Amino acid sequence: MAINQCELRPMGKSIHRKEDPRFIRGQGRYVDDIVLPNMLHMSIVRSPYAHARIKSINTDAAYQVPGVKLIITGEDLAKLKLAWIPTMAGDVQMVLAVGKVLYQYQEVAAVVAETRAAAVDAAQLVEVEYEALPVVVDPFRAIQPDAPVLRDDREKKSNHIWHWEAGDREKTEEIFKDAPVVVSQDVRFQRVHPSPLEPCGCIADYNKGTGKLTWYVTSQAPHAHRTVLAMVSGLPEHKIHVISPDVGGGFGNKVPVYPGYVCAIVASLQLGQPVKWIETRTENIASTGFARDYHMKAEIAADENGKVLALRVKTLADHGAFDAAADPTKFPAGLFSIVTGSYDFQQAFVEVDGVYTNKAPGGVAYRCSFRVTEAAYLIERTMDVLARKLNMDPADLRLRNFIKKEQFPYQSPTGWTYDSGDYEQTFKLALEKIGYQELRKEQAEKRARGELMGIGISTFTEVVGAGPSHSFDIMGIKMFDSAEIRVHPTGKVIARLGVRHQGQGHETTFAQIIAEELGLTTDDVLVEEGDTDTAPYGLGTYASRSTPTAGGAAALCARRIREKAKKIAAHLLEVGEEDVAWNGEAFQVKGLPSRKVTMGEVALAAYTNLPEGMEPGLEATYYYDPPNLTFPHGAYIAVVDIDKGTGAVKVRRFLAVDDCGNVINPMIVEGQVHGGLTEGFAIAFMQDIPFDEDGNCLAPNWMDYLVPTALDSPHWETDRTVTPSPHHPIGAKGVGESPNVGSPAAFVNAVVDALAPFGVEHIDMPIFPWKVWEILRKSGVTE
Amino acid sequence: MIPNAFDYFSPTSVDETIALLQKHGYDAKILAGGQSLLPMMKLRVAMPSVLIDINHVDDLRGWREENGYLRIGALTRHADLENERNLMDRYPLLSKTAEWIADVPVRNRGTICGSLVHADPGSDWGAAMIALHADVEIIGPSGVRRVFIDDFFVDTFTTALEVDEIASAVLIPSPIGRAAARYMKLERKAGDFAIVGVALHVVKANDGTILDVGIGLSACGDVPVRAKKAEEWLLGRPLDQETINQASLLAQEEANPATDLRGSAEYKKDLVRVFVKRGLEEIAEELR
């Protein structure tokens, strides 16, 4: 049961979400709910071809539609030097196509009209003449020397974007040379899409009188978006006001700056009227940031007893037509080198090559701390392949190879310093809770009867909270985050942070952190995010970074306030500051618990009765540069039954034991885990964005890009261990993404386990029923 | 996701509806539940310039039994049949099919006749009405006619309706004997169109043999498919395992599904076999 918001000492309690009343009653305020006077609407003309030269664009018929105000093409933007914009990955991307299109659904023209219907009508009448060019869909084809070069704008005449590596190639080779056991597995992490319920959109409102641009936008990182916009457009940063109102899910999809945003801004600048652009579902899936699309090969060298020695990973990353991946700038393959996972490898070598293809750009961190999902899936899948080769129980293999509790802080062979963890404890709890030995017995009995049951394990390590300024920046801006807390005379608090929640519950959890530090209740603290004119600068919410960064800032900012409050308390208690102690709820005179003042009393004094010479008011700002990332981990176990007749997989049980350090609100953590597991389930069994050989996107809508509902998702069992982060101010680690990072491998391992009697070692996701049926068919199994 | 502009009419009688159809011809579309039409219009796959909303035509409402048939009016919603206890004994296939359709909001608005007229070969009602040997009642300028369901479906998205006709009802023969039914469906996610759907309707005679049987297949051809050979094989036989196995093989032969994102043709044909077998086994158990 959730607890009301009026309790003191709220930390670690399942406080009711402050967001819920407005969302449940339909009183949220999303971008599309905002209607401004004289607002115009924009619709985008998109390419039906995946690769084609644009021979001509004729807008005459479109301009005849009543209410049409403006039609923008790539040539128009080129005159403003806005046809191309920089991406976060150091590439450039087209806003509107100039000369040619590089993927189906690419933006070709933008139509602005008085109504949305008129904009759509006119967009249909924009005549674009294309000349089809050879299409490259397969990334392996893209890197062949005779493949058509897609990006003729670049100096480098090749579809190869970059090569990136981590670890020690020579030392790793050395171990592989003499290793008694080597396994190798090709693993594809298919192209998926975050698919938030609310698609992307914005309203650009440029006031020619004030010279100020107000930009309402579905943004996970409003400050970063403002800075990028200032750099790209030349508008002064203080005259750009970015407002990210309620956001209906982001999952990484709302981190990049999209062409539609730029077009709406250009239109508003030209017309001096607000311009709204809201994506359709198809536009969201087919043109905005996809995730994954990694073609990976992993090899593990081990000894005969199953002790792992070295890991070698080679990956081809399909980035689509532009490298618009959303990673910290120094990390083109994100944090993929966390791929050694929870295991104590002596050496590892990881290399990734990015390539262009005729597909939509992206590579966003979908509920994932920058390519960690790919990494966790790969290592957890390959550990099972090793277990099979050695004829070992996959649980035993993991227990033999975990990084031990006493090895933390642990230096990984690819350069990470794991802050803390106790993998064995978490895994043993999971094994016990699910009844692992009994399940294996049941499985043996069922196998004897010809029934197909599988058990899948994933004991993953996450790396979240980007990040420390020595390594992490986005286009040069360090990835710190911030909090600003103001305590008003009646003891009520407004707190503003540099992050921007999209369902994570910051209004509750950050209020809990601050209330705990200040001896107040959650109800006393109003958390505001998403307005660049009021909130302190921060890099936004993604990659499970809010609690590790802004959460730390909130705690330290509150402590800064408490320092000043203590001085005022001493004044009120008429003792020296050294005689005052904080008891968690109030300041008291040391040794005299009954002589105390509350934060409410101190707050009033801060405005009415100050010690002489003290600056009035009670507020503080804190910019927190975390010393390290945090490393949450978990042990997940899936149990599946397979229908031999249809190939359908039923997830009978799924247990997730997470360790995300100290927990602020257990109910919110559980909700995060449920949501992430459901998305992981969808990736394992339902989701893919396939393309045909002409580059046509075959799942550009929710008919074919399958989003699960409560009817589809299994029942989730959850539990927790607590290994606090030693360096985080409240010992918390971030959890939103663990279930999505950790669960796909558990599902796939379970299905492969069920099919192991037929020699199956791997199945690529998504595991549709027909894939299983084909394996059974080949194995002579039928109903 | 914005439809093109269109004119909207809301007639209150069948005659008025027919007159509007005569006037506007192929530019017009009938709006009943709108659960296929409106999404198609929003995607501009369908761009009618006239919508004729029949929701205020009282004569098209409701269901009743008359003259040996169950007559289901054109405005009857999926949810009406899903939840109608009075029909579950004698026409069990209706609720068993309805509960598989899309989701609750769609079932609350979408109509049975609308689904049939849309003539999607992957629809659930097409297969069910094949299994029930239904007729479609059609009204046009020259009066009322009845078309057997097998003749109603002409091609994908094409029926025997003329441009100035409406489907006013679907008529299902009332069973003489104990009826049992199953709707078997595999879907990629809850509410999705079928990978394959199998509708089974069996009426048992007092001597234990099969008096009447219908097997309809969804997503197994250009139109909803009747597994005719399997039906003929079952008629007059007792529902034992050997008979069931043979029927499932015969039904599989009659399926002609396409290879697509939902699976290969070979896979889907095998699903037909598995579903006919499982469904008939369950029915045999129920009618024992």
What is the per-residue pLDDT across A672-709, written as a single tens digit (0 to 9) for each?
Answer: 999 999 999 999 999 999 999 999 999 999 999 999 99
Q: Taking CB atoms and an 8 Å cutoff, what residues of chain A touch B188?
A: 686, 706, 768
**Do residues A302 and A181 make contact, with C-beta atoms less than 8 angstroms apart?**
yes
In this prediction, what percent of chain B has a pLDDT beyond 90? 99
| CB of A768 less than 8 A from some CB of B | yes
> Inter-chain contact B261–A706, Cβ cutoff 8 Å?
no
Q: How far is Cα of residue A327 from the mean position of the Cα atoms in its chain? A: 10
| CB of A270 less than 8 A from some CB of B | no
Nearest Cβ partner for B186 among A116, A281, A769: A769
Q: Residue B68's CB: how many other CB atoms inside 10 A?
A: 9
Beta bridge partners, A190, equal: none
**Do residues B244 and B282 make contact, with C-beta atoms less than 8 angstroms apart?**
no
Q: Taking CB atoms and an 8 Å cutoff, what residues of chain B touch A120?
A: 2
Choosing from A368, A557, A660, A697, the catalytic residue is A368
d(CA A664, CA A551): 10
- Kindly list the structural domains of chain B, giving each domain's residue range(s) and its CATH number in brackets, ordered by start: 7-53 (3.30.43.10), 64-173 (3.30.465.10), 178-286 (3.30.390.50)
**Token representation of residue A217:** 């936008």
Say how many CB pairs under 8 Å bridge A and B: 58
Kindly report, residue by residue over A268-310, the tens digit of the pLDDT: 999 999 999 999 999 999 999 999 999 999 999 999 999 999 9
Which of B193, B262, B270, B275 best probes binding to A when mutated, by most A CB atoms within 10 angstroms?
Answer: B270
**Do residues A316 and A143 make contact, with C-beta atoms less than 8 angstroms apart?**
yes
Kindly report, residue by residue over B40-85, the tens digit of the pLDDT: 999 999 999 999 999 999 999 999 999 999 999 999 999 999 999 9
> Inter-chain contact A647–B274, Cβ cutoff 8 Å?
no
What is the pTM for the complete model shown?
0.97
In a 13 Å sphere around the CA of A280, the CA atoms on its Cβ side amount to 22
Tell me the shortest Cα–Cα distance from A645 to chain B, in angstroms.
6
Q: The tokens 């090569």 sit on which residue?
A: A163
> Inter-chain contact B5–A712, Cβ cutoff 8 Å?
no
Q: Taking CB atoms and an 8 Å cutoff, what residues of chain A touch B103?
A: 709
What is the model's pLDDT at position A5? 85
d(CA A282, CA A702): 8
> Inter-chain contact A773–B190, Cβ cutoff 8 Å?
no
Please indicate whether residue A200 is annotated as part of the active site: no
b vs e for B129-162, b when ≥16 Cβ sit within 10 Å of the residue's Cβ? Answer: bbbbbbbbbbbbeeeeeebebbebbeeeeebbbe
Name the CA radius of gyration of chain B, rounded. Answer: 19
Closest alpha carbon to A648 in A759, A513, A773, A778: A773
CA-based nearest residue in chain B for residue A690: B261
For residue A177, give the 3-state DSSP assignment.
Answer: helix
The predicted model gives B101-124 an average pLDDT of: 97
> Inter-chain contact B267–A773, Cβ cutoff 8 Å?
yes
In this prediction, what percent of chain A has a pLDDT beyond 70? 100
Tell me the shortest Cα–Cα distance from A453 to chain B, in angstroms.
20
d(CA B234, CA A282): 47
The predicted model gives B135-162 an average pLDDT of: 98
| CB of A121 less than 8 A from some CB of B | yes
What is the model's pLDDT at position A247? 97
> Inter-chain contact B262–A770, Cβ cutoff 8 Å?
yes
Q: Give yes or no for residue B23 having a pLDDT over 90.
A: yes
What is the model's pLDDT at position B70? 98
Nearest Cβ partner for B1 among A280, A646, A699: A280
Q: Taking CB atoms and an 8 Å cutoff, what residues of chain A touch B262?
A: 768, 770
d(CA B63, CA A240): 62
> Inter-chain contact A770–B1, Cβ cutoff 8 Å?
no
Q: Taking CB atoms and an 8 Å cutoff, what residues of chain A touch B1?
A: 280-281
d(CA A548, CA A658): 16
b vs e for A550-589, b when ≥16 Cβ sit within 10 Å of the residue's Cβ? Answer: bbbbbbbbbebbbebbbbbbbbbbebeeeebbbeeebbbb
What is the model's pLDDT at position A557? 98
Q: Give yes or no for residue A1 having a pLDDT over 90.
A: no
The predicted model gives A412-418 an average pLDDT of: 97
Kindly report, residue by residue over B199-232, the tens digit of the pLDDT: 999 999 999 999 999 999 999 999 999 999 999 9
Please indicate whether residue A737 is annotated as part of the active site: yes
Please give the mean pLDDT across all residues of chain B.
97
Choosing from A220, A347, A443, A512, the catalytic residue is A220
| CB of B5 less than 8 A from some CB of A | yes
Q: How far is Cα of residue A339 from the mean position of the Cα atoms in its chain? A: 17
What is the model's pLDDT at position A4? 84
What is the model's pLDDT at position A229? 93
Show the CA angle centred on residue A706, arms to residues B123 and A124, nearest 5°. Answer: 80
> Inter-chain contact B261–A698, Cβ cutoff 8 Å?
yes
**Token representation of residue A228:** 């990028």
d(CA A527, CA A482): 13
Tell me the shortest Cα–Cα distance from A711 to chain B, in angstroms.
6
d(CA A384, CA A386): 5
Please indicate whether residue A116 is annotated as part of the active site: no
Band (A326; pLDDT cuts 50, 70, 90): confident
**Do residues A455 and A750 make contact, with C-beta atoms less than 8 angstroms apart?**
yes
Q: Which B residues, 105 through 134, put their C-beta within 8 Å of a C-beta on chain A? A: none
d(CA B262, CA A413): 43
| CB of B271 less than 8 A from some CB of A | yes
> Inter-chain contact B186–A690, Cβ cutoff 8 Å?
no
> Inter-chain contact B261–A699, Cβ cutoff 8 Å?
yes
Q: Taking CB atoms and an 8 Å cutoff, what residues of chain A touch B45?
A: none
The predicted model gives A110-114 an average pLDDT of: 98
The predicted model gives A441-469 an average pLDDT of: 96
**Who's near A80: CB < 8 A, 6+ residues apart?**
A266
Q: Give yes or no for residue A2 having a pLDDT over 80.
A: no
d(CA B251, CA B215): 8
Q: The tokens 């809201």 sit on which residue?
A: A278
| CB of A66 less than 8 A from some CB of B | no
Q: Taking CB atoms and an 8 Å cutoff, what residues of chain A touch B189?
A: 686, 706-709, 712
Choosing from A191, A226, A312, A367, the catalytic residue is A367
Q: Taking CB atoms and an 8 Å cutoff, what residues of chain A touch B49?
A: none
**Token representation of residue A10:** 């709220």
Which of B44, B267, B280 best probes binding to A when mutated, by most A CB atoms within 10 angstroms?
Answer: B267
Q: How far is Cα of residue A270 from the mean position of the Cα atoms in its chain? A: 35
Q: Give yes or no for residue B33 having a pLDDT over 90.
A: yes
| CB of A774 less than 8 A from some CB of B | yes
Strand-strand pairing, A633-642 and A52-58:
unpaired
φ and ψ of A238, to 5 deg: -75, -10
| CB of A117 less than 8 A from some CB of B | yes
| CB of A645 less than 8 A from some CB of B | yes
How far the first Cα of chain B sits from its last, in Å, is 52
Please indicate whether residue A557 is annotated as part of the active site: no
| CB of A696 less than 8 A from some CB of B | no
> Inter-chain contact A117–B186, Cβ cutoff 8 Å?
no
Q: Taking CB atoms and an 8 Å cutoff, what residues of chain B touch A648?
A: 186
Nearest Cβ partner for B261 among A116, A120, A704: A704
Which of A124, A678, A773 best probes binding to B when mutated, by most B CB atoms within 10 angstroms?
Answer: A773
A45-49, A426-430, B204-208: the lowest-pLDDT one: B204-208
**Do residues A57 and A295 make contact, with C-beta atoms less than 8 angstroms apart?**
no
The DSSP result for A558-626, as a single string, is HHHHHHHHHHHHHHHHTS-GGGEEE-SSEEEETTEEEEEEEHHHHHHHHHHSPPTTPPP--EEEEEE--
| CB of A781 less than 8 A from some CB of B | no
> Inter-chain contact B5–A121, Cβ cutoff 8 Å?
yes
**Token representation of residue A145:** 């020397």
How far the first Cα of chain A sits from its last, in Å, is 46
b vs e for A432-468, b when ≥16 Cβ sit within 10 Å of the residue's Cβ? Answer: eebebeebeeebeeeeeeeebbbbbbbbbbbbbbbbb
